[in-house]
Structure 1
Amino acid sequence: MKNQLTTLERRAMSSICTPDGSMLIVAADQRNGMKAVMNCPDGPVAISTRQLADAKADLVTYLGNHAPAILLDPEVALPQIVDDGVLGRSTALVVGMDASGFETVDGLRYTRFVEGVTPRTVRELGGAVAKMLWYVRTDRQDAGSRVAQEIRELVEACAREGLLLIVEILTYRLEGETEEEYAAAFPSLVADAAALAVDCGAKVLKLPYPGSPEGCDAVTAAAAGVPWAVLSAGVDHATFIGQVRTAVAHGASGAMAGRSLWKDSLAMTTPERAEKLTELSQPRLAELREAVTVRSEAAAA
C-alpha cells in the first residue's frame, strides 16, 4: 500500500468510520448548493448567512450526529456549531478547506482555500480531519502541473500538523468537448486522477462514482491501497445507494453523502427541518450505513 497512515492519522481515520472500518461521512460543507434546496419563496439569494447557519445546525442535530463524521465548512458552520455544543461528542468533525466556486485559467478549473484556513486552523476549529477539493483533468495536467503541486504542498502541510487530509477529486467537461466525448473519457479520467493524487502523497480519496463495476476496479487499482470513498454528486438517494453497493463491492472504502441525504429535507424553519430530517434523511443514512458494510462482508467472504 502506498502512503501509509501515521499513528495520528490512523486514529483520525478510525473516527470517520463505522465500527467495521467503512468510511461514512455526512457532507454538509455546501454553501450555495445548500441554499438552492431550502425552498425559500424569494429564492436562494434571499437566504441570509444566519439562516444558512441555522439550517446547518439543524442538519447536524437531526442527521450528522447519527453518523460517524460530518463535513462542515469554516465560512458558515464553524466554529459556532462546535462552540454551541450542537456537534455530538461521538461524531468526528471533518473541516472543508475549499472556498465555493472555482477560477478558470487557460480552460482549466482551480479551487481556492477559504481565506485564512490552514491545517492549524482546522485543528483550532476542532477538526479531526481536513478535506480539500481539486478539479483535475489528467489529459491536460500531469505530475508537474499546478494542481499536482498544490496537492503535494497541502499533503505535506497537513502531515506537519499531524492532520489527516481527504483529497477530493472532481473532473469536468472542457470547453468544446461534447457530452459524448466527456462521458467516454470519464471513467479513465477518474482513475487517472486518483493515481495522480496518490503519487502526490494523498492518503484518503473522495471520488465520483466512475460509472461501472469495471470503473471501480480501475479506481481501486489506481489508488494502490489508498482508501477511497464515493461521493454522491447530487444524484437521488436510490441511485446513490446502488452506486455505493457497487463501489464498495469493487474496492471502495465507504461513502461521503451530501445532497442525496438531505436535499429535500432543508425547509426554511426548524420544525419543518426537524421533521423531514428525522423522517426522510435518517432512514436514508441508516440504509447508507448498511450499504457500506458490503465491503466488510465481501472481505470476509
Structure 2
Amino acid sequence: MTTLERRALSRITTDQGRVLIVAADQRNSMKAVMKDAPDGAASVTTEQLAAAKADLVTYLANNGPAILLDPETALPAIVDDGVIAPGTALVVGLDASGSETVDGLKHTCRIPGVTPRTVREMGGDVAKMLWYLRPDRQGADSRTVQEIRDLVRDCEAEGVLLIVEILTYALPDETEEEYAVKFPELIVESARLSVDAGAKVLKLPYPGSAEAADAVTGAARGVPWAVLSAGVDHATFIGQVEIAVAHGAAGAMAGRSLWKDSLTVDPVVREDLLTHRALPRLLELADAVNGKVSAHA
C-alpha cells in the first residue's frame, strides 16, 4: 500500500485495528425493507430514501469507524449537510444497481461519471466496487479481473484506497446444491484472483467454515479481508464474524443485518429503532471484530 492508502485503511478501523464499516449504499433493497411505505417499495421516493440514509448515519454509523454510501441518492448531500461525524470515515460505492448477464456470466457496472477523483471531491476516504466472479470460468485475462486491475491502478493514481467486493453466484446450468458444494472454493479462488489483480482490501462473503476462512486468509496473502453480511440475521452474522476473525479476517462490513428491521418511512419511528435496535447490534459487532467472543459462541 502507499502511504495514503495506509492512512485511509486506518480511518475505517476500530481502535484495535479491525475493519468495521456500516454498509448503506443499497438502493432498491433498502427501499424494500421500508415496510410502512403506503404502496410498497415502489412508492418510496428518492428523497425519502436519502432521508433514511441520513438518519442511518446520524443514529447508527456515526458510532462506528466508517459508513459506506452511494453517490446516486446519498452523496454529496449527506457530506454537505454535515451529517457525518468528524471521526467517521466515508466509503463511496462505485457500483450501479443491478447487473447484466453475458454468456451466462454476471457483470456489474460503474455508476456513470463516478471516478476515483469523484470520491475525493465528495469527501470520501475510500472507494468500494462490487464485482461478480466465477473463478472456475473466469481467469486473469477475463473482463472482470481486468476491470479490477484497471480500477485498482486508477484509484492508486488518485490516492484513493479501493475495497474490492466479490460475490459469487450459481450458473444457469447448476443446481443450488451443486453451487453450495463449490462455494467455499469459489470464495478462496476469488480472493486469490483479486489479490493477483492488485486488490489491497477485500470484502467477501463468509466462506462457510473455519477451515475455509483459513484458506481465504492464505489466498489473500496478507491483504486484509472483511466479511460481508449478505442479508443474514444479526445473530448468524455475529457467529460468522467471530469465526472469520479468529481465522484471519480483518473485520466486517455489515448492512441489512444491522438495519433491515429498523428502517421506516416515519422518521420518528426510524430514529427509535435505529437507536434502540440497530445501534446495540453495531456495538456487539464491534466486539466481534475486535475478538471479544460473545457468550453464545
TM range (shorter): over 0.9
Tell me the equivalent position of 2:41. Answer: 44
Q: Are positions 1:119 and 2:116 aligned together?
A: yes
Mark the CA change 1:111 to 1:155 in structure 2 (over 3 Å): closer, same or farther. same
Alignment of 1:157-236 (within 5 A): 157-236=154-233
Corresponding residue number in structure 1 for 2:27: 31
The equivalent residue for 1:299 is: none
Query: What residue in structure 1 maps to residue 5 of structure 2?
Result: 9
Work out the CA distance in 2 between the residues paired with 1:117 and 1:242.
Answer: 36
Provide Cα deviations, 1:168-226, integer angstroms capped at 9, x if missing partner.
00000000211110000000000000000000000000000000001100100000000
Give the whole-Å Cα distance in 1 for the aligned partners of 2:20 and 2:232.
17
Task: Give 2:104's aligned amino acid.
Answer: G
- Once residues 173 and 152 of structure 2 are traced to their aligned partners in structure 1, the CA distance between those partners, rounded to angstroms, is 33
1:11 counterpart letter in structure 2: R
Deviations 1:133-153 (A, max 9, x none): 000001110001000100000
Runs ≥4 in structure 1, deviation > 3 angstroms? none
**Cα separation, 1, equivalents of 2:243 and 2:198:** 26
Q: How do residues 1-301 of structure 1 correspond to structure 2 at under 5 angstroms? A: 5-39=1-35, 40-294=37-291
Aligned-partner SS, 1:35? helix
Within 2, Cα distance between the matches of 1:220 and 1:38? 36
CA shift at 1:294, angstroms? 1.0
1:147 counterpart letter in structure 2 = T
Asked whether the 8 Å contact 1:95–1:122 carries over to 2, the reply is yes
Displacement after TM superposition at 1:269 (Å): 1.2
Displacement of 1:122? 0.5
Structure 2: how far apart are the matches of 1:152 and 1:96?
Answer: 17
TM-score between both structures, scaled by the size of structure 2:
0.97
Residues 286-295 or 190-199, more deviating? 286-295
Root-mean-square deviation (Å): 0.9
- Tell me the amino acid that sits aligned with residue 24 of structure 1: L
Letter in 2 for 1:242: G
1:253-290 per-residue CA deviation (whole Å, 9 max, x = no partner) reads 00000000000000111111100000000000000000
Number of residue pairs the alignment of both structures matches:
292
AA partner of residue 174 (structure 1): L
Conserved in 2, the CA contact under 8 Å of 1:111 and 1:134?
Answer: yes
- In structure 1, what is the Cα distance between the partners aligned to 2:168 and 2:209? 16
Taking the aligned partners of 2:288 and 2:174, their CA distance within structure 1 comes to 35
- Please say if residues 251 and 295 of structure 1, whose CA atoms lie closer than 8 Å, have aligned partners that are also in contact: no
TM norm structure 1 = 0.96
Shift of 1:295: 8.2
State the Cα deviation string for residues 51-85 of structure 1 (Å, max 9, x = none). Answer: 00000000000001011000000000000000011
Question: What is the rounded CA distance, in whole Å, between the counterparts of 2:42 and 2:154 in structure 1?
Answer: 36
Amino acid paired to 2:92: V
Distance in 2, matches of 1:7 and 1:244, equals 28
Q: Distance in 1 between matches of 2:289 and 2:7?
A: 20
User: Which runs of 5 or more residues in structure 1 are unaligned?
Assistant: 297-301
Write the deviation string for residues 23-48 of structure 1: whole angstroms up to 9, x where unpaired: 00000000001000001131101111
